[in-house]
Amino acid sequence: MNFIFDIGNVLLDFKPQIFLKGLFNEQSVENKMLELIFKSYEWAQLDEGTITHQEALEIFCTREPDYVSEIQFTMGRLTEMLTPISETIALLPDIKEAGHKLYFLSNFHKYLMEHVLNKHEFFNLFDGGVFSCNVHICKPSPLIYHHLLDKYSLVPEECVFFDDMEENVAVARDEGINGILFTDPECVKHYFSKLENI
């Protein structure tokens, strides 16, 4: 079986509101940064790889000149938000040792991609993967799923995909992949255990 993982909130935490509270602990500023940065059109462009981290920073600062220092502070510390979900990561060696393949499929910025690949050794366990910023396509577009399948010659029915977003899981199922909504690491453990007992 080919195990395909989303990254955000599956392998690494991605919780902007908690992150922002840790930076400012001031509700009005937290709300402003959430709307300006994380809910912006540019955030989606970063995932698509059509603008750079620096370009997005400049756009945000131009849009809200009264918040330049807060924007720079937030954008400069984005990498701190992506903390490992150790319970999921701990399952990867067991899945690999059981003879299954590991892949990732994630919407991700290039700047953050470079950081996590350099920082986290568990990515060395993966047989491959696709970051949206490298192919300029984001989930839930069916095209990005097919890009992964085609790139590694994977058969959809021989793949299981874990993602924390229902719409991403639904598209995977539409394309013939066994999609499972990730709610916690136990759902991966349960699927793996069930598979090994067959």
pLDDT (tens place) for every residue of the chain, 198 residues total: 999 999 999 999 999 999 999 999 899 999 999 999 999 999 999 999 999 999 999 999 999 999 999 999 999 999 999 999 999 999 999 999 999 999 999 999 999 999 999 999 999 999 999 999 999 999 999 999 999 999 999 999 999 999 999 999 999 999 999 999 999 999 999 999 988 775
Strand order in 159-163's β-sheet?
128-131, 101-106, 2-5, 159-163, 178-181
Q: How far apart are CA 42 and CA 70, in angstroms?
A: 17
Q: Which of 102, 108, 100 is nearest to 195 (CA)?
A: 100
Q: What is the pTM of this model?
A: 0.95
Domain 2-13+82-197 has CATH 3.40.50.1000: yes
Residue 34 three-state SS: helix
Residue 103 forms beta bridges with which residues? 4, 128
